[in-house]
Amino acid sequence: MYYLLPCLFFRQVGVTHYFSYLKAREEIGYVPMVTSREGMALTISYWQQRKRATLDGPTIYAWLFCVIGMISLFCGAFLPDKGIVILLRAICLFVFRSMWVTRLVFLLATTAHIAEAIYAWYLAQRVDPANARGWFWQTFALGMFSLRLLLKRART
């Protein structure tokens, strides 16, 4: 079923809309302060500086993988068998084959996260001093997922 639309609607849809300062220059003597090329260059540099001023972050999937993974590994390695820990311990034993290896993997992963966080803090002092503390905590939680973003920023 077709509805009748006002003629004004068709006139607005069928016309190409663009903006130009030429009419303002003719009628009121407008003169732009910067050229189009200069304005585009300023806009690009502004957004690049703004991107550098913010803390880059990995996706939510990296957060979920690291945080849930480390918590699950800790629970399976060190907590007593109650509730969900029984399932986590069974998964850890299936993957790592012994509690000793599970605990060793957790301790090595924690040590790696701490070392990466310290390195990220030192690197961020040089590359992004305003966000050094944020880089430390983000890399402590996420490890290499966060550190690779900082290393990419250091290269540019």
Percent of the chain with pLDDT over 90: 54
CA distances to 17, 32, 98 from 24, in Å: 16, 10, 78
pLDDT tens digit sequence for 34-78: 888 998 999 999 988 887 666 667 888 988 999 999 999 999 999
- Residue 27, pLDDT score: 86
Least confident window among 12-16, 75-79, 102-106: 12-16
Q: Is the Cβ–Cβ distance between 143 and 113 less than 8 Å? A: yes
Q: pTM to 2 decimals?
A: 0.65
- Residue 31, pLDDT score: 86
pLDDT tens digit sequence for 137-153: 999 999 999 999 899 88
Residue-averaged pLDDT of the chain: 86
- Residue 10, pLDDT score: 57
Band (21; pLDDT cuts 50, 70, 90): confident
Q: Is the Cβ–Cβ distance between 130 and 54 less than 8 Å? A: no
Per the listing, tokens 């993997």 go with 105
